[in-house]
Structure 1
């Protein structure tokens, strides 16, 4: 692995977890899966383009990017758990 990309490894791993959380939120909110898929693909292409052309600029901000990305993942995870509590309590 390229040593310049190593600082972003944790963001890649936790970004995949974030995608799973967002997919679960879409399912629990009864979102149209086709529309969600199209929007997800558009977002992936945009992030791919940003990653391809913005990596050199972002290298000096790797610590901040990792922190903000990790914080966003943490907040989305908390949001998903808080939103799922009422549904879990209704089964009791």
Structure 2
């Protein structure tokens, strides 16, 4: 791997975790799995194109991009936990 791209490894790892969180939320919301898969695949293709053609531009903003991506993942994780609290409370009662 190119040394200049190593700074994005954390974003790739946590981006995969974000995909798992979003998929779990889709299952919980009883979303059509084929529709969700189609939209997810479309999003991945869009991000691949953006990443392929926008990498040179984004290199100077790598720290900002990593921070914003990590913050989004953190917020989505908090949202997923907050939405599960009523189910957890109901489980123990």
Partner of 1:26: 26
TM-score for both structures, normalised by structure 2: 0.96
Partner of 1:54: 54
Report the Cα offset of residue 57 of structure 1: 0.4
Partner of 1:70: 70
Aligned-residue Cα RMSD (Å) equals: 0.7
**Aligned equivalents of 1:26, 1:87: Cα separation in 2:** 16
TM-score for both structures, normalised by structure 1: 0.97
Greater than 2 Å deviation, 4+ residue runs: none
Q: 5+ residue gaps in structure 1?
A: none
Partner of 1:15: 15
